[in-house]
Each structure stands twice: as structure tokens, then as C-alpha cells.
Amino acid sequence: MYTKKTLANFTNPKNYGKLENPDGIGKVGNIVCGDVMWLYIKVTKNKITDIKFETFGCVAAIATSSEITELAKGKTIAKALSISKEEIVKSLGGLPPVKLHCSVLAVDALEEAIYDYLIKNKMPIPVELIKKHERIEQEKKIVECKYKDWTEAEARATSNKNK
Amino acid sequence: MSKQNKIYLDYAATTPVDPRVVKAMQPYWFDKFGNTASLHSFGIEAKEVVDKSRKIIADALKANVKEIYFTSSATESNNLALKGLAWANPAKKHIIVSSVEHDCVLTSAAWLEQQGYKLTVLKVDEYGMVKPKDVESAITEDTLLVSIMHANNEIGTIQPIIEIGKICKDKGVLFHTDAAQTFGKLPVDVNRMNINLLTASAHKMYGPKGAALLYVRTGVKIKPILHGGGHENGLRSSTLNVPAIVGFAKAVEILNLPPVETLHCNVSTMAKYENDRLIKLRDKLIKGILKNVPDVKLNGHPKLRLPNNINFRFKYIEGEGIIMLLDSLGIAASTASACSSPKLQPSHVLLACGLRPQDAHGSLRLSLGRWTTEEEIDKILKILPEVVERLRKMSPFK
């Protein structure tokens, strides 16, 4: 079922965790299975200099998260935007057909993080990226609704910590 | 069971074949390979051993040999029970099942519904338990059959089938129970439990795959789903799987079944038996995990559950990840998360217990068995919290 590289990516994922003071955050949810992926980027001179993920999902979701961070690291914004789901799947040596949707989630997360960075810095946003953002935003709302109590619990915990 | 230092905790999926069973089956592959339908000595030899096997199994169920029909799987037995009864008793058109039945019962029942039957799927409580009162009030004059499993395969909850059996008897309705997870673990007495039909399977109780049975009480009208040479008194045509049936019987023979006196499923009274050992290990593991891991809950009933079943749900993480990370550490377990199912749907059993899909996402079933040791349980108690922590570190929710 899973390739060796997918399993290796899953058992030893790269670049996971929160990134302090990120320049862009992409938060996406998969309406098919309920997986959630958060991606953080740091951008210096139009290049992704650091990238991290947090994923609630299966082996494929975590492996593709790890893979996209590796593929995007060090790339320019334009090059990072050209990373396709096919590229991630190919890089992993394939995914089971039922898990292909997980690779979409990874691409969405990266694009959202870049969208967030461009918006925050009042930079021009490609039309395609805006269109995608609108679609992802819709899906995210559906998924976020499911985990409302979890995210609220987290917000409470964070605010308690800050007190 | 240790295999190259691996720990197998998925006995509810299938069990290894007990070496004593393997030995009993051995002669029936080459030396005694006959077809039970043959007239010559090879056939007679095969027929004799099948008769002997049938007697051993019938005795364990407190049934008559004529009431035991061998099939290939519990799925086949359950299909035969539901469809076979429906076809033989066309006057009644209502079937009652529970929402936590195995897929093979639920989909057979749903198929009959498509053929014009009325189907009632009973709700369960938060532990996955059917209320006998609900069975009673669902029964109408048109009810043909009530099919409620003895214990659930995912969460281990033991159903009150003695009460349900009595209700069915009083109301004159047929009662079928899927005992795939219980035959070999809990005492079964088809008479005292007022069971009309019962499904059991060998590979869940240290026997081989490919052997199962349907018990059909004498006098119950049932029609075959397989037509052919008229084996098994015409109910199940197919050459008998002699080695597997011999193995099934041997697996039953070596059971250390609790006496029928403990029938009322008060598992705590089953001291001295294999169950007692498993219950101790089970409860040690449950207590340890609930104590040492935050945001975890037990699925299923805290007490009225199979001696070997544990089912947790961990918040913020997903079951397939738990399974694969455990597997990378040499531990075999099972999950019912949406991600692990081909249809990307969470378990119908967990949803029936009132869990939301996101809660079902982090489910983990550990099922113990004959070769589970205390050392293995201690190892799980050490490894599982680490696995959960590792996955939570990757999760956006914490």
C-alpha cells in the first residue's frame, strides 16, 4: 500500500511543528475525510527560507505535508507556486488511489500560506491564486466547523498560558 | 503472540491457528483427503471425521448435530440466516437489527429492504448497547426476525441477548445472533438463550480461516442461498472443507470454556479461566492508558465488554497514523478511522454510539488473545503514550 518513502516520511517527518512569527500561514481542511493541515512559511527576499507544518490526518496526509515542506524550502514564491500534487505524489513514489486527495491538501496549504504572505505584504496576487483561495476558504469553513470545540480549547489554553 | 519480537494485538481481526489445531488438521490434506459425498473408504473416512467434528461443536453450543450447518465464513452464515429465512417465510416482511451489527448483517438487511422488506435498525446507547425494551416495542405482527449480535467486534460491548432471546420467544419471533466474536470466549447455550439461529467462525477462536457455521434450530424454516449437490441437508451445497472443519472442532475441543452457570455475562465471575487472565491484562492496559495519556476515552462498555477487547479514542490525532506508527515499532493493532476505510467513512459502530466523525477519527482497537503476555502489555503501556505524543506534536490541535 504505502511506498517506503511515504512510510519513512511519516515515521520521520521533516519540518513539523509551529513556526514562530511566520510571514504566511495556510490553514486548510479536507472535506472528504476531515483531515486538517496548517502550513507556516518564512520568506526572505522572495524566497521561502523556512517552512513548517502541523497536520491532523493519516499517514498520507503527514507524509505529503513533510514532502511539500521539503520541496518548497529554498524556492522562490513563483517556483513554490508551481509545485503540483502530481509532483508530490511522484516524489513519494506514488500514493494509494484512495489517498490521492491528501496530496491536494498539501498543495492547497502551501498556496494558502503564500496567499496569506502576499496579502499581508500588500503584494500583487495572481488571479488563479485568488480563485483557489475562494474555493479553499469555503472548504475550510466546513471542516473548521467540525473541530470548533478543539480549536476553542486550544485558544483557551493559549490565553491561559499568556495570563 | 511474538513473531520476531512483534506484538500482535489484533486477535479480533483473526487469530493464529493454535498448534494443536494445526496438528489435528494435518492428516486431512494428503492422507485423508476424501470427499464426504464419495461412497468409497476415502469418502467414509472424511464423513466420519466431519460427523465427529459436528458433534464436538454442537455439544459446545448445547445444540443437536442436525442443527449445525458448516459454511465458509461468518459473512456467509449471516447472509444465509437473513436471506434464507426471508425466502422460506414470505408471509412476514419485517426484520429488526441493531445499528452496531457487522456490515454483513447490515448490508444483507439493507438488501432485503430493497426487495420490499420493512427494516428496523435499533439505536444503541453510548456504550453501543441495545435496550431489550426497544426490541420489544419494535416487534410487530409482521416481524419475522430479530438479529442482534452477541458482542460487538469493534468496541466489545456484550449485548443483553438473554433478555432479547426471551422477548423474541414470548412474542413468537425468530432470534438470530452473530456470535463470531463470542463463541470461544463467552458461554453460549442456544436453549437457555432462546436462540433460533447463531453464527460462529473458526478463525476468531484459534481455528483456521474458511470454516464457520450457522446453527438453525430444528423446525425453523430456511432456504439455501447456494444451490448444488445438496450438501449439509440441502441448505449449503459445496464440497465440505474437511481440514478446516476438523480444525474448527479441535479449536472448540481445547477451549477452556466457562460453565453455563456464568451465562449471565457477569464476566467477573469467570475466575479460573482464560478469560480471567485476559480481563486482568485488559483492565491493566485500560487503566494505565487512561491514567497516563491526556484526552483519551474508552469506547464501549466499561464492564460488559469482551474479555479481550480494548477500544480507545484519542483526541487530536488520526487512527491510521497511530496504527502505522505502532506497526513501525512492531505492534499490530486496528482502527476504525475514516482515513483507514476504503470509503473514507468513519466506523458506523462509533457513530451509532453518538461519537462525532472527528472523535471516531482517533480510534484504536487493541484485542488480546491466547499468546498475549503481561510483558507485552507493559511494553504497550510504555510505547502507546509515546506514539500518541509524537502524533500530537504534529497535530495543529493539542
> For residue range B284-294, what is the model confidence (pLDDT) as tens digits?
999 999 999 99
In the sheet that B94-98 helps form, which strands lie side by side, from edge to edge? B68-71, B212-216, B197-201, B174-178, B143-147, B94-98, B118-122
Q: In the annotation, is A102 catalytic?
A: yes
What mean pLDDT is predicted for residues B185-211?
96
> For residue range B37-80, what is the model confidence (pLDDT) as tens digits?
999 999 999 999 999 999 999 999 999 999 999 999 999 999 99
What mean pLDDT is predicted for residues B303-309?
96
Residues 317 through 336 of chain B touching chain A, CB cutoff 8 Å:
317-318, 320-321, 324-325, 328
Interface touch B396/A36, C-beta < 8 Å: yes
Sign, Cα dihedral of B90, B93, B94, B99 = positive
- Which residues of chain B are in CATH 3.40.640.10 domains? 19-253
Asked if B389 is an interface residue toward chain A (Cβ–Cβ < 8 A), one would say no
Catalytic residue set of B: 339
Q: Find the catalytic residue in A33, A58, A100, A104.
A: A33
Mean pLDDT of the residues in chain A: 91
Mean pLDDT of the residues in chain B: 93
Q: What confidence score (pLDDT) does residue B340 get?
A: 81
CA distance B215 to B201: 11
Determine the distance in angstroms separating the CA of B318 from the nearest CA of chain A, rounded to an integer: 5
| B2-15+261-394: CATH number | 3.90.1150.10
The distance from CA B332 to its chain's CA centroid, rounded to whole angstroms, is 19
3 state SS of A31: coil
Query: What chain A residue is nearest to B314 in terms of C-alpha separation?
Result: A56
Q: What confidence score (pLDDT) does residue B267 get?
A: 43
Task: State yes or no: pLDDT of B269 exceeds 70.
Answer: no
Task: State yes or no: pLDDT of B31 exceeds 80.
Answer: yes
B19-253 has CATH 3.40.50.2300 classification: no
- Which residues of chain B are in CATH 3.90.1150.10 domains? 2-15+261-394
CA distance B93 to B277: 45
The residue written with cell numbers 426497544 in the block is B134
Asked if B221 is an interface residue toward chain A (Cβ–Cβ < 8 A), one would say no
Q: Which of B342, B344, B393 sits opposite A17 (nearest CB)?
A: B393
> For residue range B81-130, what is the model confidence (pLDDT) as tens digits?
999 999 999 999 999 999 999 999 999 999 999 999 999 999 999 999 99
DSSP one-letter code for A99? G
Domains annotated on chain A, with CATH: 4-162 (3.90.1010.10)
Instruction: Name the pTM for this structure.
Output: 0.91
A vs B: CB pairs below 8 A: 78
Within 8 A by CB and 6+ apart from B316, the residues are A56, A150, B295, B362, B392, B395, B397, B398
Task: State yes or no: pLDDT of B265 exceeds 50.
Answer: no
